[in-house]
Amino acid sequence: MSTTGATADPLAALGALPTVAESVESMRKAVDRVYGHRVMRRRSNEITAEAALRGARGSAALSGADWALEEVRRRTDFSGDAEARTMGAALRLSAEAGQLLSIWRQSPLRVLARLHLVAAASDGDEVGRPRQQGEPVDEPLVELPLPSAAEVSGRLEGLSELIIAGGSAPALVTAAVVHGELLALRPFASHNGLVARTAERIVLIGSGLDPKSVCPAEVGHADLGRAAYLAALDGYVSGTPEGMAAWIAHCGRAVELGARESTAVCEALQRGAA
């Protein structure tokens, strides 16, 4: 994993970059706006449920299953073709995210293994563990060079140590680095994008930035488009301060758009109650 220099808290160094600080401030305003909405005081559970559904739809869209929201809402069987299975995996992960917060703080690698198990929903030998050398990876939408199994193992350990140690970096920075690192590594045989975006959500919830999980970054990532997503990821993989700042800013914009989506849901509920 790349950082901007040797420091006891390398993620804090990223958070100090001016463009990142601006992204953090803009994102916080959007998050505060939805949490301050009057509907959130009375119907926050409904907003959380709707955010989970919309977040799953957005994450699945980035993994090739770009369905209309009403189609996701209507369906009950997700065991059909590849797109249906992708959507089902995204929905299962969205439901699982909030259940793993306490484990995440102590053992992030256990949580990642659990997320892959939930996404894959099979008992294959490759499920729920990092891939071994020579095993293929089914992640066609991310075409970056694939790190070796040994590199994956070392970088996952480093990521885990950073998460367990905590630090002073803004939640957005930590969430973006977790997300970017998992996409770059593709540590599992499948469903890496879905797992990476779910891990980002877990960080945002667990940090206290979005404790009710009503600011689904997955919505924003989908709205910004796959091309912009992959271009920003290239910046992360470059390891340069500018590239990593661009990736973090992209993730911040995604959270903003997710917050705006839930604000719009609040407004719609308020109009319906008027």
Residue 5 pLDDT: 40
Could you read off the pLDDT of 88-105 as tens digits, one per residue?
999 999 999 989 999 999
Residue 198 pLDDT: 98
Per-residue pLDDT averaged across 190-195, rounded? 98
6-15, 41-50, 219-228, 243-252: the lowest-pLDDT one: 6-15
Could you read off the pLDDT of 206-228 as tens digits, one per residue?
999 999 999 999 999 999 999 99
**Separation between Cα atoms, residue 192 and residue 215, nearest integer Å:** 21
- Which tokens in the block code for residue 178? 């977790």
Percent of the chain scoring above 90 in pLDDT: 89
Could you read off the pLDDT of 130-171 as tens digits, one per residue?
999 999 999 888 999 999 999 999 999 999 999 999 989 999
Mean pLDDT of the chain: 94
**Separation between Cα atoms, residue 165 and residue 174, nearest integer Å:** 12
Contact in structure between 201 and 213 (CB atoms under 8 Å): yes
3-state SS, one letter per residue, for the chain: CCCCCCCCCHHHHHHCCHHHHHHHHHHHHHHHHHHCCHHHHHHHHHHHHHHHHHHHHHHHHHCCCCCCHHHHHHCCCCCCCHHHHHHHHHHHHHHHHCCCHHHHHHCHHHHHHHHHHHHHCCCCCCCCCCCCCCCCCECCCCCCCCCCHHHHHHHHHHHHHHHHHCCCCCHHHHHHHHHHHHHHHCCCCECHHHHHHHHHHHHHHHCCCCCCCCCCHHHHHHHHCHHHHHHHHHHHHHCCHHHHHHHHHHHHHHHHHHHHHHHHHHHHHHHHHC
Contact in structure between 203 and 171 (CB atoms under 8 Å): yes
- Which tokens in the block code for residue 86? 């992708």
Residue 274 pLDDT: 41
